[in-house]
Amino acid sequence: MKVKKIVAPTMPEVMNKVRKELGTDAVILNSKVVYLGGFLGMFKKKNIEVIAALDPQPESQFNNRTTKKKDTAVLEESKNLGHHEETNKTILEEIRMLKSWMETNRGSRLPSYPIPFQRFYEHLLNQQIAEMTAKQIVESMLLKEIEGGNQINSSQLKKMFSDEVSTRMGDLEFGASLTDKKFVHLVGPTGVGKTTTIAKIAADAVLKENKKVALITTDTYRIAAIDQLKTYAKILNLPMEVAYSMEDYKQARLKFEEYDLVLIDTAGRNYRDERYIDELTEIISLEGNTAVYLVLSLTAKYQDLEEILARFQKLPIHQLIFTKKDETSTYGSILNLCLQGRLGVAYLTNGQEVPDDIEAVDLADISRLIAGEFRDE
């Protein structure tokens, strides 16, 4: 067995050196972070040190005696290292995992990682997280695992993933912040559940926060939408105005000026129609206590959600609201859209019941939702 210590600034560089010096059949026996160079103990640079080995090819009977001598020497050298039985088991497990990684990656253009990380990467893809995003997250997790030198299980992978999500989205605003704004517009494509979501938010504000709430609808394209909101307003004993024109809308705002919260239901139409976005821009006042929430359905295809977000970002979107959580088991679109639009999430809705089926969310909720029931098996 040929054993060699290799040091380089990053793991990819280490792996390249291993391939060049020992070939593609080499395996990694051990890896750790070391600090080299510097002056008077300061300014040392972090490097990755690995111990790599290459098993010799089977030799002829003529060379058996020489081979045995070499094997004996290697065994003696191994004994001198003072490795305990438990350490040897750990090293053998690392050999198995990393050799599998190298064999899988050989000649492949697709990313491949040590077994637990590969399974988690595939889990993220199954959750419909964008391929590049999943790759970046897993490689960052892998580097931290190398630095920590720990054995990885499912719980640790989920914790590392949660930390990565926090790093990437910690500057975004999550959870409901409607208390800061008076006039709140819900916008989005048709069929995502804006009207029901408004009823849930209104009920929550009235019943839990004892706020003075009013409703306005500009969705005059569908009689059913007006009737639906009127029903909710009657049940909750809330005033409601229907705005058929810009003048109606301005008058409604003036009428409800003294209220704590005014929720505005906008028409859901074809988001590809530029006139629709222009009309929303006209309706939404950019002055005063105004906020805009984009409502999206988790059952929609990610490609469609991506296009919807791009269209609606012409408006001053404050946060996202995702509906129909109960109708899907894939939640990667939440992460994708938050990163794409640099927007946080206010609410998730998970059914039709008013006011129960709505929840304010934080980053930890998003991480748990995506990691789900992942098991490293």
CA distance 115 to 27: 15
Amino acid, single-letter form, for residue 86: E
3-state class of 295 per DSSP? strand
Which DSSP category does 287 fall into?
S
The per-residue pLDDT for 347 is: 93
CA proximity to 261, closest of 279, 283, 239:
239
The per-residue pLDDT for 147 is: 57
The per-residue pLDDT for 107 is: 46
The per-residue pLDDT for 88 is: 58
Residue 372 tokens, joined? 């789900």
Low-confidence ranges of the chain (pLDDT < 70): 1, 29-30, 37-44, 55-111, 146-151, 177-179, 222-223, 268-274, 276, 285-288, 376-377
The per-residue pLDDT for 21 is: 83
The per-residue pLDDT for 39 is: 54
The per-residue pLDDT for 167 is: 92
pTM (2 d.p.): 0.69
List the domains of the chain with CATH numbers. 1-109 (no CATH), 178-361 (3.40.50.300)
CA distance 41 to 187: 59
CA proximity to 134, closest of 377, 370, 375, 300:
370
Contact 141, 117 (CB under 8 A): yes
210: left (phi over 0), alpha (psi -120 to 50) or beta: left
